[in-house]
């Protein structure tokens, strides 16, 4: 007890100091004094009207549509749009985005999703966003059913990151006796693997050209480091594109033909805005997360995107004040010092990759501890929410989080209803 009590006291002291230095959260208190703002009040009412009683993941369709429109208006006609499936992990969600954006291009990241997409979205043009083992590729050919029109020979590009993996896929193609389209993952500065230099790329392209079953389908060069790495966004962008161009020129030299008709993929949510108007070789951009705008994507390049995905958690208990086990008085002191600790809430679930969103003044309590079963949150005394209301959270990322709450509730804010419910991919 001694240690944990000491930890509690030290932690409490730390929180008090943080409050003293910054009066953390004071600004945020102004935005939602008594509970939810009108947007979240309406959303809460819609949940109650629809008889929702469990924690759920909500997608605001109008907001997502506005994000998508912003994206496609910005990048077209210079670039094609490829939808990143891991960040929008639901067949119906992908289908909606593909229809709205009029694109067949998808980026997928694992074999089970690949098989499901091939079966349920058979018109897709698929590029793998990471290299799968040749064993997983073999498994796909053994288990995928060719009854619905999806033709992997023409609609699927495997991703190859090294000469060794190219040899694996060459052996697979030989054993299957069927054509495999392969694109090369190139390292344009992210340093997450991929082909490092044009000499290696030239050897691989020569091998590809000579192989009876393998077909070169393009390059994938991801560059999420550009806005984050030291050196400045502009310089990092120019360097990455110089590397990309060198790989493209190598391909044109080895293959003795232009490759502009092939897949020249790059980009992501955090970088797509850098491309419009740039004189570069990539011809398509992959984007997923920016359509629902989780908090990790709150960046200047995405300033025009609105949050469109929220977790709604049923409020189980509302308790006056804050009580910390084994430290009588400390919770009260914290509440006196920082208004965010005046009241205590327990919700169904918690500890997600998400941050409290509404009421705006909510805070998690690291001192008490996080819980996936029944998490404590704190807020000022003037939050008037009651048992059976909902608290709202914003995911920090959409990948995986969207798969944790059963069917996605698609929210229509005009009618205050959920006209559709979309099944996420199973968690794997
Ligand atoms: C290869 C690749 N391209 C693009 C993306 C961009 O995805 P998002 O737009 O969801 O950030 C990712 C994300 O990890 C990726 O791995």
250 near 214, Cβ under 8 Å? no
- Supply the CATH number for residue 410's domain: 2.40.37
> What pLDDT is recorded for position 14?
52
- 113 and 223 in a single domain? The answer is yes
Domain at 142, CATH number: 3.20.20.10
Alpha-carbon gap, residue 288 to 67, rounded angstroms: 11
Full domain range(s) for residue 130: 104-290
265 & 376 share domain = no
Whether residue 30 sits in one domain with residue 152: no
- The atom of ligand 1 lying closest to the CA of 220 is 1
The DSSP string of 394-413 is EES-STTGGGSSSSEEEEET
Q: Residue 26 has what pLDDT?
A: 37
pLDDT score at 11: 52
> Quick check: 182 and 204 in contact, CB under 8 A?
no
Compute, in angstroms, the gap from residue 350 CA to the centroid of ligand 1. 26
Tell me, what's the pLDDT at 22? 39
Tell me the per-residue pLDDT of 206-251, one tens digit each, with 9 for 90 and over. Answer: 999 999 999 999 999 999 999 999 999 999 999 999 999 999 999 9
What digits encode the pLDDT tens for the residues 60-103? 999 999 999 999 999 999 999 999 999 999 999 999 999 999 99
Look at residue 355 and give its three-state secondary structure: strand
The answer to whether residues 230 and 316 belong to one domain is: no
Give per-residue pLDDT as tens, 103-162.
999 999 999 999 999 999 999 999 999 999 999 999 999 999 888 899 999 999 999 999
Q: End of a domain among 257, 290, 323?
A: 290
User: Does 296 fall in a domain?
Assistant: no
Q: How far is the CA of 400 from the centre of ligand 1 (A)?
A: 13
Beta-carbon contacts of residue 158 (< 8 Å; ≥ 6 apart): 128, 131, 132, 137, 169, 180, 181, 182, 183
Query: What ligand 1 atom has the least distance to the C-alpha of 265?
Result: 3
Residue 23 confidence (pLDDT) above 60: no
Which ligand 1 atom is the nearest neighbour of the CA of 399?
Answer: 10
When pLDDT is cut at 50, 70 and 90, the band that residue 296 belongs to is very high
Tell which one of 74, 79, 84, 275 to mutate to probe ligand 1, the residue whose CB is within 8 A of the most ligand atoms: 84
Out of 93, 188, 269, mutate this one to test ligand 1's pocket (max ligand atoms within 8 Å of CB): namely 269
Read off the pLDDT band of 13 (50, 70, 90). low
Best residue among 72, 85, 87, 296 to mutate for probing ligand 1's pocket (most ligand atoms within 8 Å of CB) is 87
List phi, psi (to 5°) of 143: -110, -15
Å from CA of 289 to ligand 1 middle: 8
In angstroms, rounded to a whole number, what is the distance separating the alpha carbons of residues 166 and 182?
9
Q: What percent of the chain clears pLDDT 70, i.e. is strictly above it?
A: 92
The pLDDT value recorded for residue 428 is 76
Q: What integer best gives the mean pLDDT of the chain? A: 93
Terminal-residue alpha carbon distance, the chain: 39
C-alpha of residue 382 to centroid of ligand 1, in Å:
41
Does residue 194 sit within a domain? yes
132 and 269 fall within a common domain = yes
Distance in angstroms (rounded) separating the CA atoms of residues 32 and 132: 47
Take atom 12 of ligand 1 and give the residue whose Cα is closest: 268
- Residues 40 and 167 reside in one and the same domain: no
From 129, 131, 158, 264, mutation site for ligand 1 pocket: most ligand atoms within 8 A of C-beta: 129
From the CB of 287, is ligand 1 less than 6 Å away? yes
Has residue 347 been placed in a domain?
A: yes
What tens digit of pLDDT does each residue of 342-386 get?
A: 999 999 999 999 999 999 999 999 999 999 999 999 999 999 999
286 shares its domain with 373: no
Regarding whether 340 and 196 lie in a shared domain, the answer is no
Distance in Å, CA 419 to ligand 1 centroid: 29
Contact residues for 283 (Cβ-Cβ < 8 A; gap 6+): 79, 80, 260, 263, 264
Average confidence (pLDDT) over 287-298: 98
Give the pLDDT band of residue 10 (cuts 50, 70, 90): low
pLDDT for 3 equals: 37
- 221, part of any domain: yes
pLDDT in tens, 299-342: 999 999 999 999 999 999 999 999 999 998 999 999 999 999 99
Asked if residue 150 belongs to a domain, the reply is yes
Q: Do 218 and 124 sit in the same domain of this protein?
A: yes
């Amino acid at each position: 007890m001694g240690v944990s009590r000491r930890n509690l006291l030290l932690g409490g002291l730390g929180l008090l100091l943080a409050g003293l230095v910054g009066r953390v959260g004071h600004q945020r208190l102004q935005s939602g004094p008594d509970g939810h703002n009108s947007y979240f009040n309406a959303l809460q009412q819609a949940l109650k009207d629809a008889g929702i009683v469990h924690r759920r993941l909500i997608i605001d369709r109008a907001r997502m549509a506005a994000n998508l429109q912003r994206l496609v208006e910005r990048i077209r006609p210079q670039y094609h749009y490829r939808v990143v499936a891991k960040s929008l992990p639901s067949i119906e969600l992908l289908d909606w985005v593909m229809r709205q954006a009029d694109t067949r291009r998808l980026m997928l990241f694992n074999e089970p999703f690949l098989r499901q997409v091939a079966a349920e979205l058979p018109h897709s043009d698929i590029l793998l966003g990471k290299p799968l083992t040749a064993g997983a590729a073999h498994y796909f050919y053994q288990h995928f059913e060719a009854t619905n029109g999806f033709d992997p020979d023409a609609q699927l590009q495997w991703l190859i990151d090294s000469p060794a993996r190219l040899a694996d896929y060459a052996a697979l193609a030989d054993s299957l006796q069927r054509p495999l389209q392969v694109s090369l993952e190139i390292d344009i500065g992210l340093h997450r693997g991929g082909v490092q230099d044009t000499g290696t790329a030239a050897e691989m392209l020569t091998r590809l050209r000579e192989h009876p079953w393998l077909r070169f389908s393009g390059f994938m060069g991801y560059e999420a480091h550009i806005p984050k790495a030291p050196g400045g966004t502009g310089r990092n962008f120019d360097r990455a594109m110089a590397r990309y161009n060198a790989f493209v020129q190598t391909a044109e030299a080895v293959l003795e033909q232009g490759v502009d008709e092939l897949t020249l993929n790059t980009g992501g949510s955090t970088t797509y805005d850098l491309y419009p108007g740039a004189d570069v070789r990539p011809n398509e951009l992959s984007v997923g997360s920016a359509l629902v705008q989780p908090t990790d994507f709150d960046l200047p390049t995405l300033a025009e995107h609105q949050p469109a995905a929220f977790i709604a958690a049923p409020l189980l208990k509302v308790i006056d004040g804050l009580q910390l086990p084994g430290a009588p008085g400390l919770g009260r002191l914290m509440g006196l010092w920082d208004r965010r600790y005046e009241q205590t809430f327990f919700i169904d679930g918690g500890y997600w990759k998400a941050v409290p969103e509404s009421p705006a003044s909510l805070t998690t309590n690291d001192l008490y501890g996080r819980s996936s079963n029944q998490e404590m949150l704190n807020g000022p005394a003037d939050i008037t929410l009651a048992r059976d209301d909902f608290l709202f959270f914003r995911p920090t990322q959409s990948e995986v989080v969207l798969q944790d709450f059963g069917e996605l509730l698609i929210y229509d804010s005009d009618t205050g209803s959920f006209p559709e419910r979309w099944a996420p991919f199973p968690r794997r």
